Structure 1
Amino acid sequence: MTPGSGSGPMKDCEYSQISTHSSSSPMESPHKKKKPAPKRKWEVFPGRNKFFCNGRIMMARQTGVFYLTLVLILVTSGLFFAFDCPYLSENITPAIPAIGGILFFFVMGTLLRTSFSDPGVLPRATPDEAADLERQIDIANGSSSGGYRPPPRTKEVIINGQTVKLKYCFTCKIFRPPRASHCSLCDNCVERFDHHCPWVGNCVGKRNYRFFYMFILSLSFLTVFIFAFVITHVILRSQQTGFLNALKDSPASVLEAVVCFFSVWSIVGLSGFHTYLISSNQTTNEDIKGSWSNKRGKENYNPYSYGNIFTNCCAALCGPLSPSLIDRRGFIQPDTPQLAGPSNGITMYGATQSQSNMAAATPLLQSEPSITSEELPLPGKTTISGPCATLTLGQPTPPSSMPNLTSDSGLTDMIPLKEEHEGHQFLTPEEAPSPPGMLPSGSPIIHSHTMHVLSLASQDSLHEDSVRGLVKLSSV
């Protein structure tokens, strides 16, 4: 075979080196448990809210009326821009659709901002905080033992010379701050609670009140704007073709006029009412309850009012926006597992975890109270004679940290005989007091010697843990 003829097949057979670093053997890489994905706080939020977009959007549970509000605004504005604005821009001015568009986007922006934001929910107390607060209430009421507490539990604070009561929330386990209230629909305490508005699908509180006010105010302008120019459109067409022909040419204008006519009164009236509340620095909840009076001379004057309408409006609409107190998009920190010994209804004091585990792992110590000297020792084996008290059920067992005893040498090295303890005095059976109820008076006490047989043959019959426990007790 020539060198040239054998070079071809050898070139076709090529070997590639196998990388040992890219893969590992099955013994080295067992099935790895995938760590569970960390949960966010909005997934376990205790209130009755709904969250969207991974917790970025927060709304109330009942959102059906909110969708009705959204549909009415979109349909009415859409019909106005589609059927009325082309005619009005040609015959009057092109500024009409431009102004209508600005009002529409402002209304939608403030509506979504009110509906999708945190209204100022107060976080609930942790178990430690709730327990500390309960302890303070017990001390304040003079019943530290958990006795009767007079409901409702309140605290009093002074704000601008006016006494304000802070009520205790039994759901959130906190004393609510001033002007806060618990919403029964959302099941949350809301800071500076105004009211729960189903039209926006959310509570109205400290963090979204200004957006709610701007929404209803801008919606009032948009409703009046659409209603006015729809009537203008119908009048201009009726002058050219007649009233009936004008309605036939633009049937959408009739629907817009009806919707705006029935909604403008409620929207404008709501805007005027909240304008009054802002000017006096009150909330809807406080006004309905009649909590404060606008006159400073009366006893129940409003301590939150600045005494000036302009200052009150600036404080409500232009003041700094407080941050959200609930970290709804934060991750839940996993708790460190704490092992607790089995109590079975009995509290264990002074017993360590290893001792309780030892007691559970040695059934021989629990079933057989003692091993006496009536059992004969095996020949050639070392026996330890010494007084040992009888083991009874429920006594603490020695810890399981003793080494294995496999030979006589190990036994003698670790456990000294009685001769080596000449200085240690043991009580005789006659001197040892007997527990009451265990033995009748005058009964003789039999002196028993505990015997331990440690060999390969005896290890099969005795439990290893029992031998350790008995050897330890015999050396005491």
Structure 2
Amino acid sequence: MSAVMITRKVRKWEKLPGKNTFCCDGRVMMARQKGVFYLTLFLIVGTCALFFAFECPYLAVHLSPAIPVFAALLFLFVMAMLLRTSFSDPGVLPRALPEEATFIEMEIEAANGNVPAGQRPPPRIRNVQINNQIVKLKYCYTCKIFRPPRASHCSICDNCVDRFDHHCPWVGNCVGKRNYRYFYLFTMSLSLLTIYIFTFDIVHVVMREYPFTVLEVLVCFFTLWSVVGLTGFHTYLISLNQTTNEDIKGSWSGKNRVQNPYSHKNIIKNCCEVLCGPAYPSVLDRRGVMQEDSPVSATSAAPYSTSSSSSNPVPQTTKTTAPLIPNEHTPDDAKPSIAASAEKSPSPKEEHPPAPKVPPLASPETDAEASLTKDKTH
């Protein structure tokens, strides 16, 4: 059975490697494990719904109508920062193309030379200088690239992320170069919202006991320590211009007299760079269009081509590309089959078509007799 290659246009997000999921035609990008993210939404929305339904009416009448207004604005800001963090590209780096990977492998082999049998090859590392400090760029065997400084490969999303901080299951996404500031604003605003609801819940319990208020106090009490503690930890990291991944690994702990080359030695400058720096565009081009060759069996495509050839013939092309890697064999589907070659080759009868019959040339005498006969008839 022969196969015909048909070219169709697809979005690039449909063919991106890794373990991410896309929605809204590639506009929304998240991790596949989103169960904890739904739990985060439920806790935030549920707690605020109870506060607006039971405490806000009483507090607005007896204390101030500004209490529910400020709580609503703070709730909307928290939800905006959460969705912005969860639905955005954290800074995923594209993987190397086959020809790029082949070129990098050739460069590494040429630099390392022949390694004797039984010996481990040297690590694939490149050294770059940043602010008079040597930084090592490690090679990613999955993405086939030398990762930029501060980038790391996320094992959950299976992608390299630029300025990788950590993978946060509570937001259902990685936290990296493009969404770290929104993650920090989310944790900070959520801390303020939790403290705000917890404070006025205690006020409501003192003024008027209510069973739902006691439940909210317990939820906010256990949430308060974790959220406020997380906000304080990231505030400390921002003041040093450091990531969670670097802090866990001890990259700039000073044990080997290695200082952080990204720190400005000033808390205000570090905070301004992390929180007020430029917004970096995505390098994935998720919604771009690419062409894909999909094989279709000749038996299923034959009736369509026969019926349409009489009215509106459509040319079919077979795209065959040479292997990018040496000693790579061409797949069997891309090879022309015997039936396809038989259809293209002419039959023995068509090789020597009969010569057309040409009437013999008339002589001048015959033409004269024909003209006299024509005159007599007239």
TM over 0.5: yes
Unaligned stretches of 5+ residues in structure 2: 294-317, 330-334, 343-349, 355-378
Counterpart of 2:98, as a letter, is P
Structure 1 CA distance, aligned partners of 2:8 and 2:106?
Answer: 37
Partner of 2:225: 265
Count residues with an aligned counterpart: 305
8 Å Cα contact 2:11/2:289 also seen in 1: yes
Determine whether 1:274 maps to 2:234. Answer: yes
- The match for 1:59 among 30, 33, 36 is 30
Partner of 1:413: none
Partner SS, residue 329 of structure 1: coil
Counterpart of 2:186, as a letter, is F
8 Å Cα contact 1:280/1:294 also seen in 2: no
Dislocated runs of 4+, deviation >4 Å: 144-149, 403-407
Q: Which has the higher strand share?
A: 2
Partner of 2:184: 213
Give the TM-score, by structure 2 length: 0.75
Cα drift, residue 251 of structure 1 = 1.9
Determine whether 1:328 maps to 2:252. Answer: no
Partner SS, residue 332 of structure 1: strand
8 Å Cα contact 2:8/2:291 also seen in 1: no
8 Å Cα contact 1:305/1:312 also seen in 2: yes
Give the TM-score, by structure 1 length: 0.60
- The match for 2:245 among 285, 289, 301 is 285
Alignment of 1:186-201 (within 5 A): 186-201=157-172
Partner of 1:74: 45
Cα drift, residue 339 of structure 1 = 6.6
- Cα 1:59–1:332 change in 2 (3 A) is same
Structure 1 CA distance, aligned partners of 2:103 and 2:118?
Answer: 16
Counterpart of 2:12, as a letter, is K
Partner SS, residue 196 of structure 1: strand
8 Å Cα contact 1:125/1:174 also seen in 2: yes
Cα drift, residue 36 of structure 1 = 6.9
Counterpart of 1:89, as a letter, is A
Alignment of 1:220-231 (within 5 A): 220-231=191-202
Partner SS, residue 190 of structure 2: helix
Cα drift, residue 140 of structure 1 = 0.8
Determine whether 1:252 maps to 2:208. Answer: no
Structure 2 CA distance, aligned partners of 1:67 and 1:85?
Answer: 25
Partner of 1:338: 320
Structure 2 CA distance, aligned partners of 1:256 and 1:281?
Answer: 36
Counterpart of 2:157, as a letter, is C
Partner of 1:301: 259
Cα drift, residue 293 of structure 1 = 3.8
8 Å Cα contact 1:138/1:149 also seen in 2: no
Alignment of 1:406-417 (within 5 A): none
Partner SS, residue 136 of structure 2: strand
Determine whether 1:136 maps to 2:118. Answer: no
Alignment of 1:143-182 (within 5 A): 143=114, 150-182=121-153
8 Å Cα contact 1:50/1:61 also seen in 2: yes
- Cα 1:66–1:146 change in 2 (3 A) is farther
Structure 2 CA distance, aligned partners of 1:332 and 1:77?
Answer: 45
Cα drift, residue 147 of structure 1 = 11
- The match for 2:275 among 303, 313, 317 is 317
Q: Deviations over 1:278-326 (max 9, x none)?
A: 000000000011111489xx82111000111001001001110111010
Counterpart of 2:260, as a letter, is N
Cα drift, residue 150 of structure 1 = 1.5
Structure 1 CA distance, aligned partners of 2:272 and 2:351?
Answer: 82
Partner of 2:54: 83
- The structure with the largest alpha-carbon Rg is 1
Partner of 2:203: 232
Partner of 1:427: none
Q: Deviations over 1:120-142 (max 9, x none)?
A: 00000000000000011011112
Partner SS, residue 262 of structure 1: helix
User: Percent identity, aligned pairs only?
Assistant: 64
Determine whether 1:204 maps to 2:186. Answer: no
CA-atom RMSD, angstroms? 2.9
Structure 2 CA distance, aligned partners of 1:236 and 1:112?
Answer: 36
Q: Which has the higher helix share?
A: 2
Unaligned stretches of 5+ residues in structure 1: 1-32, 238-245, 348-352, 362-402, 408-476
Structure 1 CA distance, aligned partners of 2:122 and 2:206?
Answer: 65
- Cα 1:78–1:115 change in 2 (3 A) is same
Counterpart of 1:337, as a letter, is K
Alignment of 1:362-373 (within 5 A): none
Structure 2 CA distance, aligned partners of 1:111 and 1:308?
Answer: 29
8 Å Cα contact 1:138/1:144 also seen in 2: no
Structure 2 CA distance, aligned partners of 1:70 and 1:86?
Answer: 24
Determine whether 1:184 maps to 2:119. Answer: no
